[in-house]
Amino acid sequence: MARHALRAGAALQALALMGAGAAMMTVSAPAVAQDYTQVNATGRVLGTDGKAIAGATVTVTSVAQGFTRSAVTSRDGSYVISALPQGTYSFTVSAEGYQSFTDSAVRLIQGGAANQFNLQPTDASTGADIVVTAGRVRVVDFSSNTVGQTVDVADVATRVPVARDLTSVILLAPGTTGGDNRFGSVRDSGLPSVNGASVSENVYYVNGLNITQFRNGLGAVAIPFEFYQTVQTKTGGIPAEFGRFTGGMINATTKSGSNEWHGGITYSWQPNSLVSKTKNTNADDNDSAYFKRSDFIAQLSGPIIKDHLFFYGIYNARDLRWGQGYTGSVSAALTGESGCASNANVCADYADLRSSGQQLVGTSYSRNSNTSPFWGGKVDAVIIDGQRLEGTYWNTSGKQIEQVFGTSQFTLASGLRYNLNTNSPGGYVATNIYRSGGENYVFRYTGSFTNWLTLSAAYGVNKNSDTTESSAADLPYVRDQRNGANSSIGNTLSNASLNFDKRT
């Protein structure tokens, strides 16, 4: 009879996500090194009388990929099987003088890879006495002192109403909260704050590759929700090798192929009518804002060579469109082609501006689109049991096109200035192009030679571009501050920039 338990320190939020446990126990295990993507299966083997069983054989077989690893328990009944990919395994435990025990569905993830097994003697009899039967109990994993939470993304997404983005998964962990929304945008769900730190003090890893934004540390490169397998949020007790940050560490893994073929198509649509509106401000005409998005996602995985070579691939076609008008204050008494006194239909009162002789006028309208696709994949090769190679690739290259309308190069009387009362964009001014993202890839070798020697080596590259280009490159940037308007009458971009970053 297998029994499941939650790991120690889980908060009520984690209990709701992971399901109720049947028991909670503690176990000691030898110290082992931690890893970005893999886990160490640890625990003890005991008899039903509670005594440790030395010399028991613990064999694990990957349900997805078929490879097998084993270990023999020490004098205190403890075992360690190092450097296993996260996933579901079949455990078989056997010892001389005891009935063997098998559990074919043991889930191993970071922070949750310790199990205790109880074996029943071969000569055990059943009678009137109460007999403790063989079984498995998930126990506290003392091989790691890291505080945080690991979420199986696919499992949680089917049972919990969570938004399909990385930030929403991170916010399921205790000690996290939504950061200042001024660091987010209408295209995402903002950024998380971990243990009260700034949103720029977190680091993000995928399959061991650092994907934190280069220049400001605000978030990570954009990856589709469906590409993630697990997301671990480390909030405390973090070893030195994961250092160089003061917030949290977000350590994610991607999906992999298996011996079975899997495929799927997902389409999601977010219409503008379901997006909430915020109140207008002195600078943002928020009632003119709109945002709509659609995603088509295709996934396929399976074996290339059964038990030895596997692949997973994903393609995400995206269509994002958003826009908003912007405003500024000018003298309410000004007359003429650009005066509110002569063009009241394109001016408006706001708060107590009128008491200081000011009104709001439209300064520009921005219309944006991004239809850049995402694609990626992972290949796993099990050379022999205990020797494996992994390669992951994804491309986040994107191009945002911004069309600018109704700037102050048009007079109020012309009818081509952005009208904050009707939300009419006005006359076309320029097109700006913003390029971002790039290629990302990481290769990893893991070899387990003995119970005390495991070799792991990885090499990865994270590329990111951050460019700003204008369709009117020869037009100078001019800021008009006459009458307090402080608006652009030249190029809508003050500077063009070309940045191409690379991290290895």
Short-list 11, 9, 75, 86, CA closest to 41: 86
**Residue showing tokens 């190092």:** 82
Task: Report the pLDDT value the prediction gives residue 271, as an integer from 0 to 100.
Answer: 95
Rounded to a whole number of angstroms, the distance between the first and last alpha carbons of the chain is 48
What 3-state class would DSSP assign to 102? strand
Between 1.10.357.10, 3.30.450.40, 3.40.50.150, 2.60.40.1120, what CATH number should domain 2-143 receive?
2.60.40.1120
Q: Please give the Cα distance from 19 to 504 (Å, whole number).
A: 39
> Average pLDDT of the chain?
85
Is there a contact between 191 and 218 (Cβ–Cβ < 8 Å)? yes
Residue 12 is classified by DSSP as H
Q: What is the DSSP string of 313-353?
A: EEEEEEEEEEEEEEEEEEETT--STT-TTT-GGGEE--TTG
- Positions in the chain short of pLDDT 70: 1-34, 124-132, 143, 184-189, 472-473, 475-476, 479-495
273 Cβ contact partners less than 8 Å away, ≥ 6 residues apart: none
Half-sphere exposure of 322 (CA within 13 A, CB side): 15
| pLDDT tens, position by position, 23-45 | 333 344 444 455 788 999 999 99
In this structure, how many other beta carbons lie within 10 angstroms of the beta carbon of residue 143? 23
**What are the sequence ranges of the domains in the chain?**
2-143, 145-254, 257-503
What 3-state class would DSSP assign to 270? strand
| Amino acid at residue number 30 | P
Is there a contact between 145 and 151 (Cβ–Cβ < 8 Å)? no
**Exposed / middle / buried, residue 65 (Cβ in 10 Å: 0-12, 13-18, 19+):** buried
Token pair listed for 27: 């176990």
- pTM value is 0.81
What 3-state class would DSSP assign to 200? helix
**Residue showing tokens 């010399």:** 55
Token pair listed for 450: 């003995």
Token pair listed for 23: 């028991």
Q: State which fold the 145-254 domain adopts.
A: Ferric Hydroxamate Uptake Protein; Chain A, domain 1 (2.170.130)
Task: Report the pLDDT value the prediction gives residue 25, as an integer from 0 to 100.
Answer: 37
